[in-house]
């Protein structure tokens, strides 16, 4: 083996790369399209507050999703269904304030776009104007195509979301894998093409077989963002509390846990409690005279 083969790759990273690039201006949907053209994979995380958003932004995560998963992960609801537009608006504004570079995408919650395109436009316009987010996400394939088209015509970039759509938990009777079997796979492909034709700039594929997600990714010219959809999507998204080990109890099988934040916080809280009860905190260094 030659020295050159042993040496670490010293070629500069692509300055335009979504992850690891050097540009500090805010990422736009044009950057996302360019990444698909380059074949670049990229990460996306949810965020629900300014401080966490600033951590992920400084770590270089190029897209932050103010997901309605805030219902389960931040607001203490049983599902995403009760989340309101007011709640999404307050937390989206916080995530925009906490980030400098990431494209911030806000979810339209259940009941704020299903009535039709005009309701969707009213809800999305409010979020874009009041919070500063750069794009909107909504659930549904063919059934949401009209909504997507009107938002895009009005100048609002849309990330679509197909496969398992958690706002329909009551209709699904849980969170089952989608797109299994020939008929369901064909419907997923139709949904993917419908949202692309309607003008979506990307599409989340949630809980679908890896082979089907690969086929959708090959077929579309917009990027696919996988969650429980295997390794062949253009991007991957995780709910941050799952990714960082903050969620209590069981997490879905597709989650990889990269830290144990819940254990660290528990230890810190217990150490504080023990110090206070023992009179060890505050010490002289923390006191004023
Ligand atoms: O609300 C959310 O966090 C989402 C992701 C799981 C894609 O929709």
- The verdict on the CB of residue 85 being under 6 Å from ligand 1 is no
Q: Is residue 133 over pLDDT 80?
A: yes
Q: Supply the range of the domain harboring residue 274.
A: 264-289
CB 91 within 8 A of CB 48: yes
Atom of ligand 1 lying closest to residue 139 CA: 8
pLDDT tens digits for range 16-50: 999 999 988 999 999 999 999 999 999 999 999 99
Please check whether residue 247 is in contact with residue 48, taking contact to mean a CB–CB distance below 8 angstroms: no
What is the Cα–Cα distance from 100 to 203, expressed in whole angstroms?
24
> pLDDT at position 14, please?
87
Nearest CA to ligand 1 atom 5: 67
**Residues near 264 by Cβ (< 8 Å), separated by ≥ 6?**
none
Determine what percent of the chain is predicted with pLDDT higher than 70: 96
Q: Are residues 22 and 43 located together in one domain of the fold?
A: yes
239 lines ligand 1 (CB under 6 A): yes
203 with 268, same domain: the answer is no
Judgement on whether residues 210 and 279 belong to the same structural domain of the protein: no
By percentage, how much of the chain surpasses pLDDT 90?
93
Same domain, 12 and 122: yes
Q: How far apart are CA 211 and CA 165, in angstroms?
A: 19
224: CATH: 3.20.20.60
Give the pLDDT confidence score for residue 1 in this predicted structure. 38
Is the pLDDT at 10 greater than 80, yes or no? Answer: no
Q: Binning pLDDT at 50, 70 and 90, where does residue 12 land? A: low
Statement to judge: residues 284 and 185 lie in one domain: no
- 134 has pLDDT over 90: yes
Ligand 1 pocket residue status of 243, Cβ below 6 Å? no
Q: Across all residues in the chain, what is the average pLDDT?
A: 95
Is residue 222's pLDDT more than 60?
Answer: yes
Going by C-alpha positions, the residue among 37, 153, 166, 35 that lies closest to residue 103 is 35
Number of independent structural domains in the chain: 2
Residue 78 bears catalytic tag: no
Taking only the tens place, the pLDDT of each residue in 77-128 is 999 999 999 999 999 999 999 999 999 999 999 999 999 999 999 999 999 9
Catalytic residue among 206, 211, 215, 284: 206
Q: What is the pLDDT of residues 152-203, one digit of tens each?
A: 999 999 999 999 999 999 999 999 999 999 999 999 999 999 999 999 999 9
Do 283 and 178 fall within a single domain?
Answer: no
Q: Which of 237, 241, 247, 252 best tests ligand 1's pocket when mutated (most atoms within 8 Å of CB)?
A: 237
Tell me, yes or no, whether 268 and 212 share the same domain. Answer: no
């Amino acid at each position: 083996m030659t020295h050159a083969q042993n040496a670490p790759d010293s070629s500069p990273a692509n300055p335009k790369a979504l992850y690891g690039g050097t540009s500090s201006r805010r990422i736009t949907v044009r950057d996302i399209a360019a990444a698909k053209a380059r074949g670049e994979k990229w990460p996306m995380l949810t965020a629900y507050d300014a401080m966490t958003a600033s951590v992920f932004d400084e770590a270089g995560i190029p897209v932050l999703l103010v997901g309605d998963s805030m219902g389960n992960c931040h607001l203490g609801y049983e599902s995403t269904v009760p989340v309101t537009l007011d709640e999404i608006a307050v937390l989206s504004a916080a995530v925009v304030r906490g980030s400098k570079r990431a494209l911030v995408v806000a979810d339209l919650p259940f009941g704020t776009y299903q009535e039709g395109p005009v309701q969707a436009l009213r809800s999305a316009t409010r979020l874009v104007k009041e919070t500063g987010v750069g794009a909107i996400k909504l659930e549904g394939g063919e059934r949401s195509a009209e909504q997507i088209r009107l938002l895009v015509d009005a100048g609002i970039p849309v990330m679509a979301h197909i496969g398992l759509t958690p706002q329909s938990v009551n209709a699904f009777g849980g969170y089952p894998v989608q797109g299994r079997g020939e008929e369901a796979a064909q419907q997923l492909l139709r949904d993917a093409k419908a949202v692309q034709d309607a003008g979506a700039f990307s599409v989340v594929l949630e809980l679908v077989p890896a082979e089907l997600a690969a086929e959708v990714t090959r077929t579309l010219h917009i990027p696919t963002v996988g969650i429980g959809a295997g390794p062949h999507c253009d991007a991957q998204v995780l709910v941050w509390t799952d990714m960082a080990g903050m969620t209590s109890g069981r997490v879905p099988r597709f989650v990889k846990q990269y830290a144990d934040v819940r254990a660290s916080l528990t230890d810190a809280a217990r150490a504080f409690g023990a110090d206070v009860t023992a009179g060890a905190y505050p010490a002289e260094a923390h006191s004023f005279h």
